[in-house]
Amino acid sequence: MALQFTTSYLEDVRPLFAMYKRQGEAAMAQVSDADLTAVLDPEMNSIAQIVKHMTGNMRSRWTGFPEADGEKPDRNRDSEFEAPPATREALMTLWNEGWACVFAALDRLTDADLARETFIRGERHSVMQAINRQIAHYSCHLGQIVFLAKHLQSANWKSLSVPRGGSASFNTEVAAGRKSQR
């Protein structure tokens, strides 16, 4: 993620969510269709189940945000971990629908909204606290997706950041000014 200097929370947070979306897509693109539903043990979730859960969370948290409670009465969280989408196309449609909820809600906000009150499961939050809660939640699940994809690809994995053994050349590029740190 190329860092753009800003003092606006909303200008900073939208690209962060977009980066997590891209990382998830890059990780999922590296695995086979069958791997999307693979689990490492009976207690783990597959990539598809994680995506289904994230999408359910995104729809619930961001629809009507910040006026409506972030836990919608029609959400069935337990079902998010059952019967994942059967195809990559269905999975990616679900993924994009969830992220569309996130970005539509963020696009309606102004910095003046950050101190407003909102609720998640009846618990009072500032709008900024609710956004931070979701960043933490999604980054955790993105880590799971990347971990599973990397495990399933093993030696065929293509790094989403600085590859193993690539720190020296990355640092040389930074020192030479080819990578900006400002």
Helices 9-29 and 127-153: crossing angle in degrees, nearest 10, is 20
The domain spans of the chain are 9-21+44-163
For 5-18, write each residue's pLDDT tens digit.
777 899 999 999 99
In the 8-state DSSP scheme, what is residue 46?
A: P
Q: Which residues pair with 117 in a beta bridge?
A: 126
Q: Work out the burial of residue 145: count CB atoms within 10 Å of its CB; fewer than 13 is exposed, 13-18 middle, 19 or more buried.
A: buried
User: Domain 9-21+44-163 falls in which CATH fold?
Assistant: Four Helix Bundle (Hemerythrin (Met), subunit A) (1.20.120)
Q: Enumerate residues 6+ apart whose C-beta is below 8 A from 12.
A: 6
Cα–Cα distance for residue pair 83/131, rounded to 1 Å = 29
For 49-82, write each residue's pLDDT tens digit.
999 999 999 999 999 999 999 999 999 999 999 9
For 95-152, write each residue's pLDDT tens digit.
999 999 999 999 999 999 999 999 999 999 999 999 999 999 999 999 999 999 999 9
Residue 182 reports pLDDT greater than 50: no
